[in-house]
Structure 1
């Protein structure tokens, strides 16, 4: 996030959504951008074109932005506004999206800052032209619970015998059997997790044979949707436009594994590959 610091006389800031080699003004017609800003428009920056919007500087200062983006609803609104403009532009021309809340005080500052990065923007545009991003997430699923049969009960510690003199200690054999069952289940869970990790590596290797580049992203924590699934792969792949069937075929054999769930999203604007070091 690049925020502006307001100063006397600076009533507006230039919000930059993305950079492209060129932009047909008709593409930008009707784009809302941020509701409190002016029309979405183009701005020449060296030999490239930036898509920008004039916004009130007071509403986009660093302190105000920190407050706005800490609110979930406001953050979602800002993200949707940003992504909407980027997606519309990317549907027409190769596009390098800029981070959310990239702002400059005035057109000249914007031109200078973007012009200084022109070689990097051009390299990124060369890298993503004709290509899209796909997201792939692989989850390890918990072992299905054994169906309860007639007369069965949930797992519980070994029963304690009760006599007239009071409760007696559980028999050593029963306690040992209970602990063995617990250890066995822990070991089984670890084996399932290790197997899922190895399979996730195989999924990644299979996909990389059909894509231009791939990036491993930070794994998310345990899901809170009630499934108790554990993420073992979170990756983005840069593929030629139209490679959908090849990627689906590469993943299909792994979908048969009952211990895994694979989620594929896309195609997206190649956010993950518009900077150096996109393969990893």
Structure 2
């Protein structure tokens, strides 16, 4: 018989119909999802699946985190469970690959941290996460340089001097874009201070993670009430319309992945069968804690 451990997706505020809704889901490793209570009525509960222990031991998990196919499957299942729960109740998402030895251990953690979990859920009640990414776009490209050189030649300027002129023009345009991006960041933060309950800053995304082209210079998350979210999005998108070379993407709403730590401490990391905590985020935002899978740019 395969040894199993308890994979924990999130801590939740109890709600009518939540058990049945989650029970219809398939979670990590194709396992059904269930709720683990701590015992007290109306106290926080946990969304849990039984997963093979061998896949979540420290050494095995380290290998799996390098396997993008495995990682994507786990991240999507993790995200789908949390999003389904968030549609019905307040959710405190846990890190990807948070596991405990069994349901009894999960219930014990719920009891040990009951006050912190309850406080965190009260803070998150009626609020969801929105992401804001600011990009510096490449306005002065090679075609622009070629055009500048050609224009210089038509004016009788040597190719070398025309090329230097083009390079100066590119640097100027790039510097202007960075100044505009700083101005955009200041405007967005001011809007966040007025409308958001909390603000989290993440590492900027690079390479394939930088969706839509350009250089990602701001990658932030804001915790917003349902009532203020539309106003926040409208103001943020409007704040950069007059800034050249800058693009802003607003994504959401998401479950509050960036605001998961209970007040006064970190979210629990779980315990592996070997006693080591395997609940680590994959690098560069591949876990839902960084960017929910299949995030779409706001139109």
Q: Normalising TM by the smaller chain, what interval?
A: 0.7 to 0.9
1:273 matched to which residue of 2? Answer: 259
- 1:91-110 → structure 2 map (5 Å cutoff): 91-110=87-106
SS at match of 2:206: coil
1:211 matched to which residue of 2? Answer: 196
TM-aligned CA deviation for residue 228 of structure 1: 5.2
1:42 matched to which residue of 2? Answer: 35
- Cα shift readout 1:124-169 (whole Å, capped 9, x = no counterpart): 1011100111111111112255978xxx86749x99xxxxxxxxxx
2:50 matched to which residue of 1? Answer: 54
Task: For 1:212 and 1:84, locate their aligned partners in 2 and report how far apart those are by CA, in whole Å.
Answer: 25
Q: From the superposition, tell whether residues 119 and 174 of structure 1 become closer, same or farther in structure 2 (CA, over 3 Å).
A: same
1:28 and 2:22 matched: yes
TM-aligned CA deviation for residue 183 of structure 1: 3.4
SS at match of 2:34: strand
SS at match of 1:209: helix
SS at match of 1:45: coil
Q: Is the 8 A contact 2:29 2:51 kept in 1?
A: no
Task: For 1:60 and 1:268, locate their aligned partners in 2 and report how far apart those are by CA, in whole Å.
Answer: 26
1:166 matched to which residue of 2? Answer: none
1:183 and 2:183 matched: no
Q: Which runs of 5+ in 2 are unaligned?
A: 266-299
- 1:1-280 → structure 2 map (5 Å cutoff): 11-23=3-15, 24-37=18-31, 39-45=32-38, 47-144=43-140, 155=149, 175=160, 178-221=163-206, 229-257=214-242, 258-275=244-261, 276=263
- Cα shift readout 1:225-245 (whole Å, capped 9, x = no counterpart): 797512222111111113233
Task: For 2:264 and 2:200, locate their aligned partners in 1 and report how far apart those are by CA, in whole Å.
Answer: 9
Moved more, 108-117 or 92-101: 108-117
How high is the TM-score relative to the length of structure 2? 0.73
Task: For 1:100 and 1:261, locate their aligned partners in 2 and report how far apart those are by CA, in whole Å.
Answer: 30
Task: For 1:174 and 1:126, locate their aligned partners in 2 and report how far apart those are by CA, in whole Å.
Answer: 66
Structure with the largest fraction of strand: 1
Task: For 2:211 and 2:122, locate their aligned partners in 1 and report how far apart those are by CA, in whole Å.
Answer: 43
- Cα shift readout 1:27-86 (whole Å, capped 9, x = no counterpart): 22211012343x311112253211111122123222222222211111110011111111
Structure with the largest fraction of helix: 2
Aligned-pair RMSD on alpha carbons?
3.2
Q: Is the 8 A contact 1:133 1:271 kept in 2?
A: yes
Q: Is the 8 A contact 1:16 1:51 kept in 2?
A: yes
Task: For 2:34 and 2:55, locate their aligned partners in 1 and report how far apart those are by CA, in whole Å.
Answer: 19
Structure with bigger RCO (C-alpha 8 Å, 6+ apart): 2
How high is the TM-score relative to the length of structure 1? 0.78
SS at match of 2:51: strand
